Structure 1
């Protein structure tokens, strides 16, 4: 996966210091940060970055197709820089950890499209991660 900063340079997008820091914060394979998390991490690197700049940059990157906006169990939108490879998400319903998963897209039968033009599929598998499964098991044992 080509890093977001490189993709933005290839597009000749104006990379101010603030935009560059925001893009760098979003680097990585399994990054799914909410806007406030992007802001906190960006501000730790560049204290003068503003929350408004983070929101504006995130919205612009989504509009450009450089970020995916993903619904999360906590109700906040998460931002995913992995736009080059179609994928779905695996979400821990307890701790909120979210990972990319690469599986075949589910198919919607022609009879179930109701005349809609299908543009894409977003699947989120809800589960418990190994850490949370262990915590649930320990908590159950403590109650015994």
Structure 2
């Protein structure tokens, strides 16, 4: 059983077969699927699930704070079930692959007081960008 399913059951969220399938599709580490990818995988398990149901379920999971919605600039939004463990993201500028990363140190403390403009910081979202091994030009090619 996925961590997401356990969290949803603990909240008393009604797990219809459609909602359960969407949660199961989001199971695993480094899962950052688009809504269309979730729909494709969900229909493989439950052929009658509609695209609207997938989108609505993802919206509910985001509103509950159980799934993060990642706005990948210039690309489709992605959904991350790792909503309760502190992490940042590493994004390939070529293919859009997203990986969770756990840098050392406190991202909030990294912003000097002189750059805070009077804000009281509550959270930091850092996205590292580069090219994955599949997109990076091969040496000597």
Cα displacement (A) at 1:74: 4.1
| TM-score in terms of structure 1 length | 0.87
Question: Deviations for 1:24-68, whole angstroms, at most 9, x for unmatched residues?
Answer: 000001000111111111111101111111111111111111001
SS at match of 1:21: helix
CA distance in 2, matches of 1:80, 1:105: 21
1:125 to 2:128 alignment = yes
| Structure-to-structure mapping, 1:8-23, within 5 angstroms | 8-23=8-23
For structure 2, which runs of at least 5 residues remain unmatched after alignment? none
The structure whose residues are more often helix, as a share, is 1
**19-28 or 88-97: bigger deviation:** 88-97
**25-34 or 109-118: bigger deviation:** 109-118
Look up the match of 1:137: 138
**Alignment counterpart, residue 115 of structure 1, candidates 113, 118, 138:** 118
For structure 1, which runs of at least 5 residues remain unmatched after alignment? none
| TM-score in terms of structure 2 length | 0.88
Look up the match of 2:79: 79
RMSD: 1.7
Question: Deviations for 1:88-119, whole angstroms, at most 9, x for unmatched residues?
Answer: 01111112111000013422222222233323
